[in-house]
Amino acid sequence: MPVATIKQRDINDYTRKYVADYQNESFETVLAEVRKRQVIQSVNRYPHQTLLEVGCGFEPIFPNIPDAETCVVIDPSNEFLRFAEKQSGKQKRVTFLHGNLEDLANELASRWSFDFIIVSGVLHEVPDPGAFLTSLSQIAGSNTIIHLNVPNVRSFHRLLALEMGLIQSLFDPSERSSQLQQHQFFDRQLLTELSEKSGFQVVNFATYLIKPFTHSQMEEVMKSGHFPNALISGLEKMAKYLPDMGCEMSVELRKNS
């Protein structure tokens, strides 16, 4: 199924709804912790003295990578950047830039050579994923590793919804995806094809966290009080038995030589 192309998202509306998720202690906060662990594991597998974080959101990764000598953080939301700056404690190793990757690509490429680039929870929200990846290719060097993660349309909970007749296609938008302006939907094949078309090779692929139900249904379980840490740990580990059905997927990319 082709990837949709849409108009630029309303970053202010997105920021308000994203922050509300965290203030309400929704299931997204749980998923964000799992996602962060996956990113940190990926970073630690490779050299990362010079690190770029594209889209820090409300859960910046760089504070968890203390051995990175240089960190550059970019985001189109001023509120997210202000929060990330507070997280940094005004460390001299961190530089913050306001704007979209596509607009900052020339500056980034001219000022830094990055060992590792984090693109966590971003690609499915940009208006033109191909242009975004082209900008990444401009910034990345031959040895740069890019960690990129997105929601997985072949997640267990979406497959269940399809078989129950609640959705007609795995690519149908959910109420949550519409609220958060997610208009790009990926499975492994689409993400791999787009990455390769943009000049990258996939050096690693994984899905993580088996999510049995929708976000709102998972939140109902949380509110019931029957949501111990062991449950999340178990759902994380379940991905090894259902390796294509995690609710999110990640790739590690390297430019073709």
- Confidence class of residue 1 from pLDDT cuts 50, 70 and 90? very low
pLDDT at 54 over 60: yes
The pLDDT score that the predictor gives to residue 68 is 97
Mind giving me the DSSP string for 80-143?
A: HHHHHHHHHTT-TTEEEEES-HHHHHHHHHHH---SEEEEES-GGGSS-HHHHHHHHHHH--TT
Q: Report the mean per-residue pLDDT for the chain.
A: 88
Rounded CA-CA distance 127/42 in Å is 26
- Confidence class of residue 6 from pLDDT cuts 50, 70 and 90? very low
The pLDDT score that the predictor gives to residue 117 is 98
pLDDT at 5 over 50: no
Rounded CA-CA distance 186/200 in Å is 17
Rounded CA-CA distance 68/108 in Å is 17
pLDDT (tens digit per residue) in 155-214? 999 999 999 999 999 988 876 655 555 668 999 999 999 999 999 999 999 999 999 998
CA-CA distances (angstroms) from residue 52 to 72, 129, 144? 5, 18, 10
CB atoms within 10 A of CB 213: 15
The pLDDT score that the predictor gives to residue 94 is 96
The pLDDT score that the predictor gives to residue 245 is 97
SS (H, E, C) 15-48: HHHHHHHHHCCCHHHHHHHHHHHHHHHHHCCCCC
Q: What torsion, rounded to 10 degrees, do the Cα atoms 160, 164, 165, 170 define?
A: 0
CB atoms within 10 A of CB 224: 8
Report which DSSP code applies to 172.
S
CB 152 within 8 A of CB 186: yes
Q: Residue ranges per domain, the chain?
A: 11-255
Rounded CA-CA distance 145/147 in Å is 7
The pLDDT score that the predictor gives to residue 15 is 58
- Confidence class of residue 87 from pLDDT cuts 50, 70 and 90? confident
pLDDT (tens digit per residue) in 144-157? 999 999 999 999 99
Rounded CA-CA distance 139/255 in Å is 10
* Domain 11-255 = CATH 3.40.50.150: yes
Q: What torsion, rounded to 10 degrees, do the Cα atoms 122, 204, 49, 55 define?
A: 0
The pLDDT score that the predictor gives to residue 2 is 38
Per-residue pLDDT averaged across 129-158, rounded? 96
Amino acid at 196: E
How far from chain centre, in Å, is Cα 136? 15
pLDDT at 229 over 60: yes
Per-residue pLDDT averaged across 34-45, rounded? 96
Q: Dihedrals φ, ψ of 248, to 5°?
A: -135, 160
Rounded CA-CA distance 122/237 in Å is 25
pLDDT at 21 over 80: no
